[in-house]
Structure 1
């Protein structure tokens, strides 16, 4: 059984969407301080882990128990999290740092400073190389982290306000959303070589791209400020289609012929069927943000 879990930042809840019948269960996050503000999400060993913007913590939500089982303080304004070798790599925006947490001992291992005014926003891990890539939204850069030594080993200059970073399926490239947030210009997707750590291509998309999904030589990008979905053909290296979905599209997941997009403005997830061109709305919580697809209770795609 497959489900999509959605972080509702203003609702202090997760929404659990059943992909068989599209029913929704609201799951409260109650163990930490209030408000919570779940923002980033990952899967780990039968659990969902969220970063909580407002309570400065991460929550561990058990899929088997169907409830939050732990809340761990990590630092100011955590934005995103990825788990690697039983450790949570957490980005704390206001302290401009990466916090590494031992999930077995539930304690902090170390904190890596990423630079003044970095405001780290998104993290991706290349497990075979023991490397993490961090997009620093206000630092206009990508920090490369050695996960064995927990230290920065490179810094890649990026264009304005990079948001989501994603490792390609073949692991030869990184895709980076150049959002240009607050500017009245279109954003781009930077394509970065994982061998050279250099930008090798920039592909123009829409206004304020903030999330990205890759499948079958295509990228699907949400453009937050203009309400459009961009579809990029990776072989042609260009945007081939834009679809108006409305609102403020945020998190995105593709499953079979359906694309699921969180509308941050109105507490809905949009289900867009690409084959039949049918749009359905699913009511979730306030300010839906990051999402994850779970093959219950084990396999995930984010």
Structure 2
């Protein structure tokens, strides 16, 4: 993976960052006749598939020449997108729905009630499973992506922000943010076979995002309210280290020994080296949100 893509919602463009040279280029949507607000994205073959907050649309952009054609209506307040096969799985917060979009034929295939305010989705391609985090419903929803059926609903607590698959799809890690409370958040490891909590630990205030490195069995948690990153030993479910980077980390990714952290307060990308503990700051547009490595 040598490129990082970042949605700059308030500035109507995507940052494309070469991770070898740190050269930046822009996929600009400002020529459109209204603000669209790119919010989250995923990859489909030679295309980026982007959902847009302001005009509730999906657009496909060619990765090599940055060309795009038309926008497709997908439903109000799209929050997240993941691609599985020829389908895009899109969460729409206003309609409390999972929208399944056929990327070959450019049409909505199905719309499913997913719970109250679906916020994030993760897909385990090996098992064909999806996990949806319902932030205001205080639950996560396990779905079968091959027939779009609901397998299991698992109750969690206090404004979950994200759930991700680990252990080859056997378990998930869930961020319980406790948004608005002056207290630490909680990360829970939950078995998908039983729905039972296996382990849990406290993190910083308002864990907003999480990424898992399977090779090291470590998770990296962006704690929005106290400007920190928790490094978690997932096998023993303990916090190995907490890095204070200041700012308001909203999104996090990991590639080799570098962390890529989206700071929504300073509108910047923080590149943190796990080797030398140094941070490089790259200015972004307004309201950086969804990020993707490719």
- The aligned residue for residue 197 of structure 2 is 199
Structure 1 position 15, deviation (Å)? 0.5
> Which runs of 5 or more structure 1 residues have no equivalent in the other structure?
295-302
- The aligned residue for residue 263 of structure 2 is 263
Q: 2:208 aligns with which of 203, 207, 210?
A: 210
Q: Determine whether 1:88 maps to 2:88.
A: yes
Greater mean deviation of Cα atoms: 154-163 or 192-201: 192-201
Query: How well do the aligned residues superpose, as a CA RMSD in angstroms?
Result: 1.7
Q: 1:186 aligns with which of 184, 187, 198?
A: 184
Cα separation, 1, equivalents of 2:78 and 2:231 = 30
TM-score (normalised: structure 2):
0.94
- The aligned residue for residue 224 of structure 2 is 224
Q: 1:120 aligns with which of 101, 108, 118?
A: 118
Deviation string, structure 1 residues 143-176 (Cα, Å, up to 9, x no partner): 2223233232321101111112211153222111
Cα separation, 2, equivalents of 1:129 and 1:273 = 33
- The aligned residue for residue 165 of structure 1 is 163
TM-score (normalised: structure 1):
0.91
CA contact (8 A) 1:252 1:262 kept: yes
Cα separation, 2, equivalents of 1:31 and 1:168 = 41
CA contact (8 A) 2:126 2:168 kept: no
Q: Determine whether 1:272 maps to 2:287.
A: no
Distance 1:257 1:181, change over 3 A: same
Structure 1 position 70, deviation (Å)? 3.9
Deviation string, structure 1 residues 9-60 (Cα, Å, up to 9, x no partner): 2111111111112122121135867322222221111211122122111221
- The aligned residue for residue 63 of structure 2 is 63
Count of residue pairs brought into register by the alignment: 292
Q: 1:131 aligns with which of 112, 129, 133?
A: 129
Cα separation, 2, equivalents of 1:204 and 1:181 = 14
> Which runs of 5 or more structure 2 residues have no equivalent in the other structure?
none
Structure 1 position 79, deviation (Å)? 0.5
